[in-house]
Amino acid sequence: MAKHTVVTMPGDGIGKVVLPQALRVLEKVGFDAEYVHADIGWEFWVREGNPLPQRTLDLLEEHKLGLFGAITSKPKAEAAAELDPSLRDKGYVYYSPIVGLRQHFDLDICLRPCRSFPGNPLNFIRKKPGGGFEEPPVDVAIFRQNTEGLYAGVEWTDPPPEVRKALETHPKMARFKDVPSSDLAVSCRIFTREACRRICRAAFEYAAKKGYKSVTVCEKPNVVRETSGMMGEEARAAAGDFPGIDLWFTNIDAQMMWLTKDPEKYGVIVAGNLFGDIISDGFAGLVGGLGFACSGNIGPKAAVFEPTHGSAPKYAELDPPIVNPIAMILSAAMLLDHVGEEEKAEAVRKAVGEVVAEGRVRTYDMLRLRGGPEVIAKGAAATEEMTQAILERLP
């Protein structure tokens, strides 16, 4: 029997293209695993009224380790219209299955490493004061709280009277007292101490393990005092156990301004859900964008690894496929890290780095081409050629 069982959830669109590429890489590095396929995505919404069927939850419950490609989400009305006629008007409501997975398994830590590979033409470059350009090496790992904050979904337009009444116990509600409830929209930012503690600890542990010198809490405690404040308290508490690692604080707005000024200064960054979402896209943009952005959703009982990109429906049917498999392959490397196969994970990242540095094989995004079937004739590598180049660099 294999040592690990990985639940593979290709999902929709290019999720189906990139996930098999990652499996080829995992096989080549000799990862001792078997794979079980699980259904997720649009197809299952349309056919069953559920994009995340119970059988998929059961598989993850059993095996606790998942690789996910991408899904297609559509607005409410469109989703309802595409539902199989036999299921219409039966109360089915579309929800994002990846958000569903995060909530169901309490995958509360989202880790998004953003490391530039030397030679990537998409790397951020900066003007030097004396003329010319420099390419600062970016190596940041973002820890985004994944289940709470503004994305927890506790919100109302036209809040019910008891909610309104409770809100009015707060003196700062006085300025809204004449606004009719129907004109009031409220989204609650809820942080729990336990979740703050877990993400701050995880950030410090990661910093210690991977040799980062600092952990930066990127929040806004001067304004959003209670929630950002709690994150800060827990970060200070965690920092006490890691004397060799500096704890810094930045505000999300200022951090975005500094994003391109000195990205090489940062190591590990911790943030709540919304700010973490923003800052991780910001850093991902400096190191190649969606074709390179990998992530892990890590909870106490299960973990699911996925590229940050979506299903890119425009490119889903192209033959040969042209999308960059690197984000998916790097996500698979994160899975290797997670199960303690760090050497194999490093081998994968090294192989990717070598292919990027050599510059012979580049997908269309790396050539800054507009996607389409003609990119191959313009010198872009197809998805499988990129995977092949990476495989050839692996022992």
- Chain positions contacting Mg ion, by CB under 5 A: 70, 306-307
Q: Is 367 in the site for ligand NAI (CB under 6 A)?
A: no
Nearer CB in complex with ligand NAI: 245/382? 382
Nearer CB in complex with Mg ion: 150/304? 304
Nearer CB in complex with Mg ion: 102/201? 102
Shortest approach of ligand NAI to residue 284 CB, angstroms? 11
Q: Is 20 helix (H, G, I), strand (E, B) or coil?
A: helix
Element (H, E) at 271: strand 268-271
Total of residues contacting ligand NAI (CB under 6 A)? 18
Strand partners, 14: none
Q: Are 219 and 232 in contact (CB under 8 A)?
A: yes
CB-nearest residue to Mg ion: 306
Question: Which residues are CB-contacts of 96 (< 8 A; sequence separation ≥ 6)?
Answer: 51, 71, 73
Q: Is 72 in the site for ligand NAI (CB under 6 A)?
A: yes
Q: Is 355 in the site for ligand NAI (CB under 6 A)?
A: no
CB-nearest residue to ligand NAI: 310
Binding to ligand NAI, residues 153-182 (CB under 6 A): none
Shortest approach of ligand NAI to residue 161 CB, angstroms? 35
Q: Are 252 and 217 in contact (CB under 8 A)?
A: no
Q: Is 50 in the site for ligand NAI (CB under 6 A)?
A: no
3-state secondary structure 119-164: CCCCECCEECCCCCEECCCCEEEEEEECCCECCCCCEEECCCHHHH
Name the H helices within 259-366: 273-286, 313-316, 326-338, 342-358
Nearer CB in complex with Mg ion: 200/322? 322
Q: Is 291 in the site for ligand NAI (CB under 6 A)?
A: yes
Among 114, 142, 238, 323, binds ligand NAI (CB under 6 A): 323
d(CA 266, CA 250): 11
d(CA 272, CA 326): 27
Question: Which residues are CB-contacts of 107 (< 8 A; sequence separation ≥ 6)?
Answer: 101, 146, 147, 297, 298, 299, 302, 303, 304
Return the one option of Mg ion, ligand NAI, none that residue 341 interacts with (CB less than 5 to 8 A, by type): none
Nearer CB in complex with Mg ion: 53/307? 307
Shortest approach of ligand NAI to residue 145 CB, angstroms? 17
d(CA 187, CA 242): 35
Binding to ligand NAI, residues 96-155 (CB under 6 A): 98
| Stretch of 57-65, 180-188, 307-315, 337-345 contacting ligand NAI, by CB under 6 A | 307-315
Shortest approach of Mg ion to residue 70 CB, angstroms? 4
Q: Is 79 helix (H, G, I), strand (E, B) or coil?
A: helix
Q: Is 331 in the site for ligand NAI (CB under 6 A)?
A: no
Residue ranges that bind ligand NAI, judged by CB under 6 A: 70-73, 98, 290-291, 309-314, 323-324, 327, 365, 371
